[in-house]
Amino acid sequence: MNRKFFMLLIIALIVIVITGYKMTGNVTKENSRVLIKTSLGDITMELYPDKAPITVENFLIYVDEKAYDGTIFHRVIDGFMIQGGGFTTEGKEKETHDPITLESNNGLKNEKYTVAMARTTVPDSATNQFFINVENNDFLNYGVRDDGYAVFGKVIEGQDVVDKIAKVQTNSAAMPLKNVVIEKIERV
């Protein structure tokens, strides 16, 4: 190896370390933000990769693939949460990647306007569906009644839009009578 190449390599490594670039994925330790454009207005979320790296990376994979574009908030329960990301406007379930490891024991709580991954009764079953808490939901926290639900972000703008979605009319299955569309989610 010549000296000039070696010096360039050292400089490149220093730049990588200084900028905090994570070579194993698309997420740095810095908080990321995403914009959710809905049919009822915009919501900005801050994500916490330092607390939930697997969950944030999983969510951003779906964002980058545009998998959330054209989906709906399919489960809306005022006083509890709004859930979306898994169904098209025609009610067809979206394909998903493999489930991820549950990161609910990360110190983040299911408080009003926090964002968590939906899952089945199996702890490591979250894929693409997420929900926004519209109240403090302590019973969803790790260790309260079970393994809990992994909070990975928080709504920092557009809380009024979240509240508006929570108030839409629903059927007995908590599905809105009129689609609340997630037009797109993108990094900002």
Q: Does residue 17 belong to any structural domain of this protein?
A: no
The rounded Cα 9 to chain-centroid distance in angstroms is 36
Residue 84 confidence (pLDDT): 98
Q: Does residue 104 belong to any structural domain of this protein?
A: yes
Determine contact, residues 118/125, Cβ cutoff 8 Å: no
Residue 109 belongs to domain with CATH number: 2.40.100.10
- 98 by Cβ neighbours in 10 Å (0-12 / 13-18 / 19+) ranks as exposed
CA distance 34 to 20: 20
Residue 18 confidence (pLDDT): 43
Encode pLDDT of 36-91 as tens digits: 999 999 999 999 999 999 999 999 999 999 999 999 999 999 999 999 999 999 99
Residue 7 confidence (pLDDT): 54
Residue 115 confidence (pLDDT): 98
Number of structural domains found in the chain? 1
Q: Does residue 6 belong to any structural domain of this protein?
A: no
Ranges of the chain whose pLDDT falls below 70: 1-30
Residue 17 confidence (pLDDT): 43
Q: Does residue 31 belong to any structural domain of this protein?
A: yes
Q: Enter the pTM of the model.
A: 0.84
Residue 16 confidence (pLDDT): 44
Q: Does residue 115 belong to any structural domain of this protein?
A: yes
Maximum distance among all Cα pairs of the chain, rounded to whole angstroms = 72
CA distance 130 to 143: 20
Q: Does residue 92 belong to any structural domain of this protein?
A: yes
Residue 31 confidence (pLDDT): 73
